[in-house]
């Protein structure tokens, strides 16, 4: 049974062109973003809010680094690893960054196969993404351990400004927490995909809403965001 | 299945989308306690906010008693006084006003006013309330913790906030305060995302953005601002918590305390002030914008006249919201920041006066030659305009660097912000409760008790805060436990203090009348019917009063006009509901 209803705005007025047309589309009834589902809209707005959180963290760190009167430890030396007798600066961070960026690639593929309703490939790619994410967190734990054994603490370090350790642990810790939550949700969604929840529209345990493959894309938004944030942390903390 | 045809032939998803699957409660617990219905959540939010707000009210009494009769109450020593100040400010600004406007009115009114069945993610909405409740409990717990709550002032400025000289600084007070703030922000984010997405993506057919009631515009803009401003407070709270618990030095410079050098070094207290006020100034408008929106609807409804300059009102709200992010350092003129900043921030601050003045003119022009019904909501709305104009004008004083410097940290500042973001929004909250109580409960609030409540509250609040300006101009400082007998502090200032305290006790006591009225009218109030104020907006057109789960019965309403068709010439009644489909050319909304 399909009936057609004219909305009040549509029939009465000619659709204006140019910017006015854009404004009229946005301001029209029901949905501001026409093809965007509620879940996706909510994730985008959450990410905007989260951008401000990371932005404040990074600006606070940069303020501390610029205003300190004692020398700031040299990141190239602090984050160097000695491999086979050669000291290679930033090698671990480079590998971590490579792993995380790769995970964005597998995530994007998972989204693609999700929309093709390819249950197995989607789940496999989500698991690979989760594995990359867990590897990243593992390497971060290694890095933390190394620095802690070298005497870096939140309240001080052997090489200079105390804010180096505090900013490092706070920012990478907060980012690592984001990655960890991402991995947990990747595993949950991978399980749901594998079980076929989204093919039969099984209802969520908490929300009792019908599930569908779009959740893979929404999770993907979050995952790409966390990767993007890492690029900024990499640039501002390690390369500066 | 209804398919919508828009002008260019693309199909817009029908109003009743797949996304809107309501969770139907199966037991008493899921219906009334762990409810996912925005209306129940709204009531839970409001009652919790009012309950903790009453604590803050009692704290203000205690402060006033100490100021008027120093030494008479021996249990109010200097430390307690600072704790009372801190908790009073923090509770009123965040846990009462923000929670009540956005969590309370936002939850109740957004789905009803835009024609949705519920918020878009009711489960997250429910979690939002429970995390908020947890935040309130953590805050309240600090009253019972060793050392008591923090006494750092509501701005929690470091380094003093985490030092032993400040009450709670080296005890539990500051830790519980910061934890509570972090929880509040997490809880608010879950609710706030819901409010924003609901307004953007879940409006009913015909409800264009420019037909939304101004209440929704105010709440929506305030929520967007909160989602962008609270992150700064979140970061500041996390960093200060680390300074206190882990011994980091984000905000802590090298310090000597009682002859011992503290382990902190190299931190910047000014950084905290920037982060705090990047949140703190938008926060003022997070409280004010919903009040602006609600008061516009109250005035229009009770003056039976369309709001003057609807479009301008919408843009003023949006512009105020945007500008409020670039004015924060006008709270820091005396902080020691680069003086050149003062010029920039004074300029942006004074520019805000333009959209704000437009709003005030439009309210007054809406009243102009209106059919003004002096109902309780209207009385409170008028009181709002008066107190807000008063507070706004003193804002011009404080926004200018040169005038602000001598007035900083005096009672003038206290009078200013209580007028503009204390009394004014609370007037709107009272007006809104008198206005929407009939929809929430199905019964009117008692008129006589309401009149008593209004006149004592309005005149009393003026009697409290108006003389405070003079105290400030005399140089009486704020946050002083005792005034002392200084040369600039004449006996008349002390008499004024006693007067203010007596009025504060009276106004506080008058709220008992209001609370009694809320309880009494629940059973004994006059039955209200569906639309006692003969209002146009959708929430008054629900099939049941109070609205049931799902709000609209079988079919969602369709909106044909804007929210302000009052006293339309030639119309049968003096109001035309938004969902009335009469094929007329009278409606401004059809042309808007």
Chain A to chain B, count of Cβ pairs less than 8 Å apart?
A: 189
User: Looking at the domain assignment, is residue B237 inside a domain?
Assistant: no
Best of A25, A49, A201, A229 to disrupt the B interface (most B CBs within 10 Å) is: A49
* CA B418 centroid distance within chain: 12
For residue B98, what is the domain's CATH number?
A: 1.20.210.10
Among B1, B4, B238, beta carbon nearest to A1: B1
Residues 570-589 of B with CB under 8 A from A: 589
B90 and B140 in a common domain: yes
B480 and B398 in a common domain: yes
DSSP string, B344-389: HHHHHHHHHHHHHHHHHHHHHHHHTT------HHHHHHHHHHHHHH
Classify residue B260 by its DSSP letter.
E
Chain A positions touching B120 (Cβ under 8 A) are 38, 42
- What distance in Å separates the CA atoms of residue B492 and residue B471, rounded to the nearest whole number? 9
Among A1, A41, A154, beta carbon nearest to B246: A154
Residue A136 tokens read as 């990243």
Query: b or e along B262-289 (b: 16 or more beta carbons within 10 Å of the residue's beta carbon)?
Result: bebbbbbbbbbbbbbbbbbbbbbbbbbb
Q: Which domains does chain A have, with CATH numbers?
A: 36-239 (1.20.120.80)
B199 and B149 in a common domain: yes
C-beta atoms surrounding B432 within 10 Å: 26
Of B159, B157, B152, the residue nearest B174 (C-alpha): B152
CA distances from B260 to B157, B242, B254, B256 (A): 22, 21, 11, 5
B569 and B432 in a common domain: no
B389 and B514 in a common domain: yes
- Kindly identify which residue of chain B lies nearest to residue A165, measuring between CA atoms: B248
Look at residues B173, B207, B241 and tell me which one is the last residue of a structural domain.
B207
B414 and B548 in a common domain: no
B541 and B473 in a common domain: no
Q: For A104-130, write each residue's pLDDT tens digit.
A: 999 999 999 999 999 999 999 999 999
B563 and B424 in a common domain: no
B520 and B389 in a common domain: yes
Residue A50 pLDDT > 50, yes or no?
yes
Determine the distance in angstroms separating the CA of B385 from the nearest CA of chain A, rounded to an integer.
Answer: 30
Burial of A35 (0-12, 13-18, 19+ CB in 10 A): exposed
Look at residues B500, B525, B550 and tell me which one is the last residue of a structural domain.
B525
Beta bridge partners of B426: none
pLDDT for position B339: 83
B570 and B431 in a common domain: no
pLDDT string in tens for chain B (592-residue length):
344 444 433 444 555 655 566 777 888 888 889 999 999 999 999 999 999 999 999 999 999 999 999 889 999 999 999 999 999 999 999 999 999 999 999 999 999 999 999 999 999 999 999 999 999 999 999 999 999 999 999 999 999 999 998 999 999 999 999 999 999 999 999 999 999 999 999 999 999 999 999 999 999 999 999 999 999 999 999 999 999 999 999 999 999 988 899 999 889 999 999 999 999 999 999 999 999 999 999 999 999 999 999 999 999 999 999 999 999 999 999 998 888 889 999 999 999 999 999 999 999 999 999 999 999 999 999 999 999 999 999 999 999 999 999 999 999 999 999 999 999 999 999 999 999 999 999 999 999 999 999 999 999 999 999 999 999 998 888 998 887 666 667 888 889 999 999 999 999 999 999 999 999 999 999 999 999 999 999 999 999 999 998 898 888 899 999 999 999 988 888 999 999 886 555 444 444 4
Determine the distance in angstroms separating the CA of B322 from the nearest CA of chain A, rounded to an integer.
Answer: 15
* Contact across the interface for A30 and B232, Cβ inside 8 Å: no
Among A15, A38, A163, beta carbon nearest to B201: A38
pLDDT for position A208: 81
Number of domains in chain B: 3
* Contact across the interface for A10 and B6, Cβ inside 8 Å: yes
Chain B positions touching A33 (Cβ under 8 A) are 200-201
Collapsed DSSP state (helix, strand, coil) of residue B143: coil
- What distance in Å separates the CA atoms of residue B290 and residue B53, rounded to the nearest whole number? 18
C-beta atoms surrounding B408 within 10 Å: 17
B477 and B409 in a common domain: yes
Residue A239 pLDDT > 80, yes or no?
yes
pLDDT for position B570: 85
User: Looking at the domain assignment, is residue B173 inside a domain?
Assistant: yes
Best of A29, A59, A173, A211 to disrupt the B interface (most B CBs within 10 Å) is: A29
Chain A positions touching B583 (Cβ under 8 A) are none
* Contact across the interface for A14 and B207, Cβ inside 8 Å: no
B558 and B422 in a common domain: no
Collapsed DSSP state (helix, strand, coil) of residue A6: strand
Beta bridge partners of B2: A3
Query: b or e along B29-48 (b: 16 or more beta carbons within 10 Å of the residue's beta carbon)?
Result: eeeeeebbbbbbbbbbbbeb
Determine the distance in angstroms separating the CA of B591 from the nearest CA of chain A, rounded to an integer.
Answer: 8
- Kindly identify which residue of chain B lies nearest to residue A53, measuring between CA atoms: B231
User: Looking at the domain assignment, is residue B223 inside a domain?
Assistant: no
Classify residue A72 by its DSSP letter.
P
User: Looking at the domain assignment, is residue B309 inside a domain?
Assistant: no
* Contact across the interface for A29 and B210, Cβ inside 8 Å: no
Collapsed DSSP state (helix, strand, coil) of residue A88: strand
Q: Does B120 touch chain A (CB under 8 A)?
A: yes
pLDDT for position B20: 62
User: Looking at the domain assignment, is residue B592 inside a domain?
Assistant: no
Of B357, B348, B364, the residue nearest B305 (C-alpha): B364
C-beta atoms surrounding A116 within 10 Å: 10
* Contact across the interface for A49 and B189, Cβ inside 8 Å: yes
* Contact across the interface for A38 and B249, Cβ inside 8 Å: no
Chain B positions touching A162 (Cβ under 8 A) are 248-249, 265-266
Q: Does B231 touch chain A (CB under 8 A)?
A: yes
User: Looking at the domain assignment, is residue B54 inside a domain?
Assistant: yes
pLDDT for position B485: 63
Residue A12 pLDDT > 60, yes or no?
no
- Kindly identify which residue of chain A lies nearest to residue B266, measuring between CA atoms: A68
Mean pLDDT to the nearest integer, A209-214:
88
Look at residues B151, B174, B207 and tell me which one is the last residue of a structural domain.
B207
Chain A positions touching B228 (Cβ under 8 A) are 48-49, 52
pLDDT for position A3: 38
Domain that holds residue B119: 35-207
* Contact across the interface for A49 and B228, Cβ inside 8 Å: yes
Residue A180 pLDDT > 90, yes or no?
yes
Among B197, B206, B559, beta carbon nearest to A38: B197
User: Looking at the domain assignment, is residue B159 inside a domain?
Assistant: yes
Determine the distance in angstroms separating the CA of B15 from the nearest CA of chain A, rounded to an integer.
Answer: 7
Classify residue B566 by its DSSP letter.
B
Among A27, A41, A170, beta carbon nearest to B210: A27
Residues 45-104 of B with CB under 8 A from A: none
Chain B positions touching A210 (Cβ under 8 A) are 18, 21
Chain A positions touching B267 (Cβ under 8 A) are 64, 163
C-beta atoms surrounding B328 within 10 Å: 25
Q: Does B254 touch chain A (CB under 8 A)?
A: no
* Contact across the interface for A163 and B250, Cβ inside 8 Å: yes
Collapsed DSSP state (helix, strand, coil) of residue B490: coil
User: Looking at the domain assignment, is residue B135 inside a domain?
Assistant: yes
């Amino acid at each position: 049974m399909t009936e057609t209803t004219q909305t009040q705005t549509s029939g009465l007025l000619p659709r204006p062109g140019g910017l006015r047309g854009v404004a009229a589309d946005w301001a029209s009834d029901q949905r501001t973003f026409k093809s965007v589902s509620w879940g996706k809209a909510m994730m985008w707005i959450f990410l905007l809010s989260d951008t401000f959180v990371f932005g404040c963290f990074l600006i606070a760190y940069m303020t501390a680094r610029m205003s300190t009167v004692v020398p700031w430890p040299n990141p190239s030396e602090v984050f160097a690893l000695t491999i086979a007798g050669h000291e290679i600066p930033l090698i671990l961070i480079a590998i971590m960054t490579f792993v995380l960026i790769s995970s964005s690639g597998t995530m994007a593929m998972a989204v693609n196969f999700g929309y093709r309703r390819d249950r197995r490939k989607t789940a496999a790619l989500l698991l690979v993404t989760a594995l990359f994410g867990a590897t990243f967190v593992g390497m971060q734990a290694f890095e933390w351990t190394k620095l802690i054994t070298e005497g870096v603490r939140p309240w001080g370090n052997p090489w200079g400004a105390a804010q180096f350790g505090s900013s490092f642990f706070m920012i990478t810790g907060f980012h690592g927490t984001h990655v960890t939550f991402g991995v947990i949700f990747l595993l949950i969604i991978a399980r749901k995909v594998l079980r076929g929840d989204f093919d039969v529209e099984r209802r969520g345990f908490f929300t009792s809403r019908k599930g569908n493959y779009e959740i893979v894309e929404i999770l993907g938004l979050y995952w790409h965001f966390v990767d993007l944030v890492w690029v900024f942390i990499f640039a501002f903390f390690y390369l500066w | 299945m209804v398919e919508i045809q828009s002008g260019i032939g693309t199909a817009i998803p029908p109003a009743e989308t797949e996304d809107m699957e309501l969770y139907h409660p199966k037991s008493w617990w899921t219906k009334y306690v762990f409810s996912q219905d925005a209306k129940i959540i709204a009531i839970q939010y409001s009652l919790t906010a009012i309950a903790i707000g009453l604590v803050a009210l009692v704290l203000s009494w205690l402060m006033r008693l100490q100021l008027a009769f120093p030494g008479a109450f021996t249990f109010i020593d200097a430390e307690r006084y600072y704790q009372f100040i801190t908790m009073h400010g923090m509770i009123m600004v965040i846990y009462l006003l923000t929670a009540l406007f956005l969590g309370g009115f936002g939850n109740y009114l957004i789905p009803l006013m835009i024609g949705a069945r519920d918020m878009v993610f009711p489960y997250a909405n429910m979690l939002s309330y429970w995390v908020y409740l947890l935040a309130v409990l953590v805050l309240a717990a600090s009253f019972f913790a060793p050392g008591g709550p923090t006494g750092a002032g509501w701005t929690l400025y470091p380094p003093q906030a985490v030092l032993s000289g400040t009450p709670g600084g080296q005890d539990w007070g500051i830790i519980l305060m910061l934890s509570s703030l972090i929880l509040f922000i997490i809880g608010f984010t879950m609710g706030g995302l819901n409010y924003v997405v609901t307004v953007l993506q879940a409006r009913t057919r015909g409800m264009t953005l420019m037909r939304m009631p101004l209440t929704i515009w105010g709440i929506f803009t305030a929520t967007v601002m909160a989602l962008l401003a609270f992150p700064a407070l979140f970061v500041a709270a996390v960093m200060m918590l680390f300074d206190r618990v882990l011994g980091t030095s984000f905000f802590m410079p090298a310090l000597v305390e009682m002859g011992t050098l503290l382990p902190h070094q190299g931190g910047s207290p000014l950084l905290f002030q920037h982060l705090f006020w990047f949140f703190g100034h938008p926060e003022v408008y997070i409280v004010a914008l919903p009040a602006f929106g609600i008061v516009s609807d109250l005035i229009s409804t009770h003056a039976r006249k369309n709001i003057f300059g609807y479009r301008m009102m919408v843009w003023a709200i949006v512009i105020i919201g945007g500008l409020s992010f670039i004015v924060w350092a006008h709270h820091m003129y005396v902080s020691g920041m680069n003086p050149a900043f003062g010029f920039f921030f004074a300029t942006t601050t004074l520019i805000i006066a333009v959209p704000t003045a437009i709003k005030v003119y439009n309210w007054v022009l809406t009243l102009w030659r209106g059919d003004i019904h002096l109902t309780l909501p209207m009385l409170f709305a008028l009181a709002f305009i008066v107190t807000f104009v008063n507070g706004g004008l003193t804002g011009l004083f404080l926004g200018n660097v040169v005038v602000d410097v001598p007035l900083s940290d005096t009672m003038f500042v206290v009078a200013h912000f209580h007028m503009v973001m204390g009394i004014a929004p609370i007037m709107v909250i009272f007006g809104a409760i008198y206005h929407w109580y009939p929809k929430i409960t199905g019964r009117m609030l008692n008129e006589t008790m309401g009149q008593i409540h209004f006149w004592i509250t309005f005149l009393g609040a003026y009697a409290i805060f108006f003389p405070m300006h003079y105290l400030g101009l005399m140089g009486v400082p704020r946050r002083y436990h005792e005034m002392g007998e200084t040369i600039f502090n004449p006996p008349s200032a002390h008499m004024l203090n006693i007067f203010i305290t007596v009025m504060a006790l009276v106004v506080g006591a008058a709220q008992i009348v209001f609370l009694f009225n809320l309880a009494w009218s629940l059973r004994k109030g006059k039955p209200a019917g569906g639309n006692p104020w003969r209002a146009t907006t959708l929430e008054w057109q629900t099939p049941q009063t109070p609205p049931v789960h799902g709000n609209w019965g079988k079919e969602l309403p369709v909106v044909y006009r804007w929210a302000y068709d009052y006293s339309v010439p030639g119309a049968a009644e003096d109001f035309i509901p938004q969902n009335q489909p009469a094929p007329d050319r009278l409606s401004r909304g059809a042309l808007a």
